[in-house]
Amino acid sequence: MTEIMTFIRSYNYDVCLAPGKIWALSEAADYLAAHLAGRESWSTREDAYKEVLSIRDRLLTAMKQDIDEGRLAVTEEYLDGADIGQSDIDVNKSTVLPFFFINWALANDIEVPAEFAKYHDRKKSNKSAYYEGLGLKRSTIHHERCRAVAELLWSMEPEMPIAEMARRNEIIQYGCEGHDYDMRTISRWLASLKADRRPGQPRKNKD
């Protein structure tokens, strides 16, 4: 009991927030599972360990669902460096930027370590100051960024439906900077780039 409870309660969460740090998604789940299990008292080491694993499994299940639905932006790369589609992401091979993961946890009312919450607040404050300095609303910036990213992606995959484009990792991560917009909003932003189809409709073959 002493070993696992010491690990859970004394883990230095600042270490994993070093500049430039990117988390494996399974690693991010470990951080939260350790934190959440550490809030409780356990009579045996085995009970504590089982709870850590149980929480971790529930977190990974929730992450996979939100990855599939475009609410959590992650990246997976094969050994040759080729990116794969958002819906094909394997949570056991994925990476995620700390800000995006913490933002996802908070949006789902999942308690995070105090270090994570402070890091998230600081990042959000820095971005708000940046947009204010430009004299533009955040949504205006994200609108233009999403369209620029989508235009590039459509040049490589012209048959992709708008609804699928709106869920792409690149749109969420780089266009929206991880902000949780409704997919219908993003689809409207992109619609004029593909005026020959409605959001979610596949391209019709022209005779």
Q: Percentage of the chain surpassing pLDDT 90?
A: 14
As a whole number, the mean pLDDT across the chain is: 77
What's the pLDDT tens digit per position in 185-199? Answer: 899 889 888 654 444
Give the pairing of strands 23-24 and 75-76.
Answer: unpaired
Question: What pTM, to 2 d.p., does this model score?
Answer: 0.62
* Rounded-to-integer distance, Cα 195 and Cα 50, Å: 53
What's the pLDDT tens digit per position in 110-163? Answer: 999 999 999 888 887 776 665 566 565 778 888 888 988 898 888 888 888 888
* Rounded-to-integer distance, Cα 116 and Cα 29, Å: 13
* Rounded-to-integer distance, Cα 102 and Cα 31, Å: 11
Query: Are the C-beta atoms of residues 50 and 33 closer than 8 Å to each other?
Result: no
